[in-house]
Amino acid sequence: MIYEIYSTLPTFKNLAFSKGFNILVSDKTESSDNRKTRNGAGKSSLIEIIHFLTGSNCGIDSIFKCEELISFRFGMVFDLPGAVVRVERSGMKANRIDIKIIGGNINNWPIFSKKMMQFEYEAQYEGYNLSVDDWKDILGQLMFGLKPVEGKDRSKNREEGSSFLPSFRSLFSYFVRKQDAFNLPFKQSSEQRTWDYQIALTYLLGLDWTIPQEFQKIRAQLDRLIKMQQAVRKGELQELGIYRANAAELRTKIAVAEREIERLKTNINTFQILPEYEKFSQESTEIARRLEDLNQQNTLDRILIDNFHESIDREIEPAIDNLADLYREVGIVFPDTITRRFEDVRKFHESVISNRRDYLSSEIVAAKQRISDRTFTMDKLAKRQAELIGFFKSGGAIEQLTGLQSELNRKENEVLALSRNYQILEEADTKKTQLEIARRQQYLRLVQDYKEQETTLKKAVIAFEKISEALYEREGSLNIEATESGPEFSISMPSHKSGGISKMQIFCFDMMLMQLWTERGLGTGFLVHDSHLFDGVDERQIATALEVGATTAKKFGFQYIMTMNSDIVPYEIFRNRNFNVDQHILPVKLTDASDEGRLFGIQFGSEKTSSKK
């Protein structure tokens, strides 16, 4: 559990927490507009502080890097297995963490004992100074049983996707959701990738996480193969005028070109010159015809572009307002229904004009692209035409023979280029087939794992159903399905007349995860929710959720922290239900009515700038 969150910033409101359910309440004034500020009263910043002290990145846009906060330390006292720990960090030295053991011992911390001698002891702090990476290793092992990241280049090993491992930060963020994490239960960030939540949730549910890891490795290899094939087609093949050929088509082109090479060699050896004149003459005539045709098409597209530009310039919005003014001048006053009809007509015409302009603009872009493609083809044809003209002008048997030999060299180089790219594409096709087989094997492995782990799956499903039943009097369903793209998660909730169903799915899902990890004797020991969890949820549902949260936290022995605006706390409903919510509300209350009432007690960063305008 978290005992305390504090700061050396003199104006900061230190927060003390107790076991079980805790609510941090903020009074929101009617004139406030939190969309214009980053912090508001500061209740959401509590989430940022917890993440900051558990090793989140501290980039230049972090609140802890702003001028008003960077030199101050922020701290938290909380439980880790067998010990009570004080941790502190500042924006000034954001890559280092200070920890101090203030209760219990660390004998059951194998990772810390092993590396104890490597950590710098700070006499002034009476604790240890270590890197953020080391701190995340400690938290990952103690909370979730993760193995520490090893290797000389730790930053490279920690790079996202380098080996597709479950990470402490990815797992922890399900228990302390940030502001953008209240859209889907299965994603702790709006930007979280599919592979990351598949691996994270599989690990959190106690299933074999190496299976979604292998799925992602296969996806990554397929992506690289596709990019390689695209690069091949944009390279030598495009120079040869080939844009979308596959390996089979290249094999055919190679066979045709090799036959042409053999014919040229035979003609050169027997010095049969005249037949080539006829062949090249026909080719030259065809090139001339194609050049003329392509040029005419470009001319038509240029005219089309000019017409489209004129059409866009002629588009004039209807003067509906002028018509209404004209009627008013002659004393005709329309009722509100007619006035609204004018507005509907105006909006309709504006929509038509806008759609018309968008359509014309897209047609202009398409015409320009066609001109560009034809111009590229015309350049290639003109180059070949010049070669043929040179052949015709050469005259004489020796010059004719030289021209044929030059054509033979060109064909042989073409075959070499085709063969190189054919080999690459053929190997890529073979590898893709192997990867598809591997993906199918992983699917079968996933199906088998779900059969073998049926007890584990049922435990999660039943826990979710019980929590959802407490909310809705009918249970919802957590569905975990094996697919050929990896594990797929979904939730079915009973239909209910109240809104905010998706947010209550998140509530049930997080409570389920908290229950599972508490029963294992691991986990964070605390679950933190921001008031965004209740966006669009009616007050009766909010009241029920808070009661369920308090009951579940007490039953399983974990801490549940909620931040809420005072205007959504359903006091009246609680009184009717004999639920004493006041005993869970922290004595420190926040308000956005003044700087002193905020969590930090000051304005900072963009808030300070906006207040001066």
Phi/psi of residue 103, each to 5°?
Answer: -165, 145
With contact defined as beta carbons under 8 Å apart, do 547 and 168 qualify?
Answer: no
Q: Is the pLDDT of residue 401 over 70?
A: no
Q: Which amino acid is at 456?
A: T
Please give the DSSP secondary-structure letter assigned to residue 484.
B
User: Among the listed ranges 259-268, 325-334, 410-419, which one has the minimum average pLDDT value?
Assistant: 325-334
Please enumerate in sequence order all residues whose Cβ is within 8 A of that of 441, keeping only pairs 6 or more positions apart, or say none: none
Distance between CA atoms of 271 and 398, rounded to whole angstroms? 10
With contact defined as beta carbons under 8 Å apart, do 600 and 69 qualify?
Answer: yes
Distance between CA atoms of 27 and 591, rounded to whole angstroms? 5
Indicate the SS3 state at residue 520: coil
Indicate the SS3 state at residue 483: strand
Distance between CA atoms of 287 and 461, rounded to whole angstroms? 70
> Maximum distance among all alpha carbons in the chain?
111
Q: Is the pLDDT of residue 430 over 70?
A: yes
Give the model's confidence band at 432: pLDDT under 50 very low, under 70 low, under 90 confident, else very high.
confident
C-alpha closest to that of 532 among 40, 9, 148, 111 = 40
Q: What is the CATH number of the domain that holds 527?
A: 3.40.50.300
Average pLDDT score over residue span 582-599: 91
With contact defined as beta carbons under 8 Å apart, do 41 and 599 qualify?
Answer: yes
Phi/psi of residue 434, each to 5°?
Answer: -65, -40
With contact defined as beta carbons under 8 Å apart, do 407 and 274 qualify?
Answer: no
Question: Which pLDDT value is given to residue 335?
Answer: 62
Q: Is the pLDDT of residue 233 over 80?
A: no
Give the model's confidence band at 34: pLDDT under 50 very low, under 70 low, under 90 confident, else very high.
very low
Q: Is the pLDDT of residue 330 over 60?
A: no
CB atoms within 10 A of CB 164: 22
Q: Is the pLDDT of residue 20 over 90?
A: yes
Higher pLDDT, 407 or 454: 454
Give the model's confidence band at 437: pLDDT under 50 very low, under 70 low, under 90 confident, else very high.
very high
**pLDDT digits 0-9 by tens, 344-360:** 766 777 777 778 788 88
Structure tokens at 205: 């549910």
CB atoms within 10 A of CB 162: 11
With contact defined as beta carbons under 8 Å apart, do 513 and 467 qualify?
Answer: no
**pLDDT digits 0-9 by tens, 127-157:** 889 999 999 999 999 999 998 766 544 444 4
pTM given for the model: 0.71
Q: Burial of 105 by CB count in 10 Å (0-12 exposed, 13-18 middle, 19+ buried)? A: exposed
**pLDDT digits 0-9 by tens, 480-528:** 999 999 999 999 876 655 557 888 999 999 999 999 999 999 999 999 9
In a domain, 212, yes or no: no
In a domain, 216, yes or no: no
Please give the DSSP secondary-structure letter assigned to residue 149.
P
Classify 318 in phi/psi space as left (phi over 0), alpha (psi -120 to 50) or beta.
beta
In a domain, 535, yes or no: yes
Do 545 and 600 fall into the same domain? yes
Give the model's confidence band at 74: pLDDT under 50 very low, under 70 low, under 90 confident, else very high.
very high
Question: Which pLDDT value is given to residue 322?
Answer: 58
In a domain, 224, yes or no: no
SS3 content of the chain, % helix, strand, coil (to 5): 60, 15, 30
CB atoms within 10 A of CB 588: 12
Structure tokens at 564: 């809420």
Question: Which pLDDT value is given to residue 36?
Answer: 44
Question: Which pLDDT value is given to residue 12?
Answer: 96
Distance between CA atoms of 331 and 441, rounded to whole angstroms? 81
Do 458 and 604 fall into the same domain? yes
In angstroms, the Cα distances linking 558 to 277, 483, 547 are 91, 34, 15
Both ends of the chain: CA-CA distance in Å? 42
Residue span of the structural domain in which 252 resides: 230-432
Do 423 and 457 fall into the same domain? no
Structure tokens at 445: 């492995």
C-alpha closest to that of 181 among 313, 374, 82, 44 = 44
Question: Which pLDDT value is given to residue 161?
Answer: 44
Do 414 and 461 fall into the same domain? no
Indicate the SS3 state at residue 182: coil
Give the model's confidence band at 42: pLDDT under 50 very low, under 70 low, under 90 confident, else very high.
confident
**In angstroms, how far is CA 310 from the centroid of its own chain?**
42
Please enumerate in sequence order all residues whose Cβ is within 8 A of that of 473, keeping only pairs 6 or more positions apart, or say none: none
Where does 427-466 show beta strands of DSSP type E? none
Q: Is the pLDDT of residue 218 over 70?
A: yes
Q: Is the pLDDT of residue 240 over 60?
A: no
Where does 264-308 show beta strands of DSSP type E? none
Domain finish residue from 372, 397, 432: 432
Question: Which pLDDT value is given to residue 564?
Answer: 93
Structure tokens at 574: 């609680």
Structure tokens at 136: 């995340």
Report how many domains make up the chain: 2
DSSP secondary structure string, 544-605?
Answer: HHHHHHHHHHHHHT-EEEEEEEGGGS-HHHHHHHT--GGGGB-S--EESSSGGGSSSSS--T
Q: What is the CATH number of the domain that holds 359?
A: 1.10.287
Distance between CA atoms of 526 and 545, rounded to whole angstroms? 17
Do 65 and 129 fall into the same domain? yes
With contact defined as beta carbons under 8 Å apart, do 370 and 299 qualify?
Answer: no
Which range of 429-433, 489-493, 558-562 scores highest in mean pLDDT? It is 558-562
Do 368 and 463 fall into the same domain? no
Distance between CA atoms of 337 and 96, rounded to whole angstroms? 67
Do 52 and 184 fall into the same domain? yes
Q: Is the pLDDT of residue 417 over 80?
A: no
Question: Which pLDDT value is given to residue 506?
Answer: 94
Of the chain, the percentage scoring pLDDT greater than 70 comes to: 79
β-pair partners for 479: 490
In a domain, 442, yes or no: no
In a domain, 542, yes or no: yes
Distance between CA atoms of 93 and 132, rounded to whole angstroms? 10
User: Among the listed ranges 84-88, 302-306, 357-361, which one has the minimum average pLDDT value?
Assistant: 357-361
DSSP secondary structure string, 326-342?
Answer: HHHHTT----HHHHHHH
Higher pLDDT, 210 or 493: 210
Do 486 and 569 fall into the same domain? yes
Mean pLDDT over the full length of the chain: 83
In a domain, 42, yes or no: yes
Radius of gyration of the chain (CA): 35
Q: Is the pLDDT of residue 397 over 60?
A: no
**In angstroms, how far is CA 417 from the centroid of its own chain?**
39
Question: Which pLDDT value is given to residue 613?
Answer: 44
Distance between CA atoms of 193 and 223, rounded to whole angstroms? 15
Average pLDDT score over residue span 252-257: 77
Do 102 and 64 fall into the same domain? yes
In a domain, 238, yes or no: yes
Q: Is the pLDDT of residue 113 over 90?
A: no
Q: Is the pLDDT of residue 342 over 60?
A: yes
- Tally: H helices and E strands in the chain: 18, 13
Do 491 and 410 fall into the same domain? no
Do 101 and 36 fall into the same domain? yes
Do 318 and 426 fall into the same domain? yes
